[in-house]
Amino acid sequence: MEALLVSLIKLFVATDAVGTLPVYIGLTEGMSEEEKRRTVKLSVITSFLIVLGFSVVGSWLLRVLGVSVCDFEIAGGLLLLILSVDILMRNEQAKAEAASSERIGVVPLGTPLIAGPCVLTLVLLLADSVGVVCTLVAALVNVVLAGLIFANAGVVTRLIGSRASKAFAKVSSLLLAGLAVTLMRQGIIAAIEHAQKSAS
């Protein structure tokens, strides 16, 4: 139970669903309630399947492909940056059409926002230290919790009003770009530090 509790807390911090909420509100601005529910469902399913795969074969797959966690951070950040620029450059009609697409539940919500590089790295470490079953239970609880937080985002939207919500949607695109740059920066710094250690 202690190992499970520690895993729950660590994954809750890494998932950061509360911090991701503004981005979710911005991405789903203009969606119907049914579309939002579908998006949340897809994000939960996607993120848990990714965590499941990583906890079982993640270490082996990374070794076979020669891909490091740093590479994941840089790639995930680049993906988010492209998406955020795309959202900012679209007109309102195009944004609504894009927001209606089911892909938002998969990318970027399912990954890399919920099941991002930090979560996947932690899953690999926890699977080795406390076991796969304990890790998956903790991950499932956190993924469902993230889905519940997103599903109740309407409360926040109603509180701030429709006009503020539209402005919030634009700001969230900038937040998404900021998250993207942060991920890439962390990946680059980690890659440099790894290279320096290898050289010494």
pLDDT in tens, the chain (200 residues): 788 999 999 999 888 888 788 788 878 877 888 989 999 999 999 999 999 998 888 878 878 888 877 887 788 788 778 877 876 776 554 455 555 546 788 888 898 889 987 788 889 888 888 999 999 999 999 999 999 999 998 887 777 666 666 676 667 677 778 878 887 898 899 889 988 888 87
Token couple for 48: 């848990």
Query: Counting Cβ atoms within 10 Å, is residue 10 exposed (0-12), middle (13-18) or buried (19+)?
Result: middle
Terminus-to-terminus CA distance in the chain, angstroms? 41
* pLDDT at residue 163, as a whole number: 67
One-character DSSP codes across 86-133: HHHHS-HHHHHHHHTSTHHIIIIIIIIIIS-HHHHHHHHHHHHHT-HH
Q: How far apart are CA 39 and CA 146, in angstroms?
A: 12
Give the span between the Cα atoms of 8 and 125, in whole angstroms.
13
Helix axes 132-151, 117-129, angle to 10 degrees: 150
pLDDT of residue 66: 84
pLDDT confidence of residue 169? 64
> Which tokens hold the place of 64?
């076979």
Helix, strand counts (H, E) of the chain: 10, 0
Residue 118 token pair:
């930090």
> Alpha-carbon torsion 92, 97, 100, 106, what sign?
negative
Reading the block at residue 63, the tokens are: 């070794």
Whether the CB-CB separation of 26 and 159 falls below 8 Å is answered with: no
Which positions ≥6 away from 86 have C-beta within 8 Å? 98
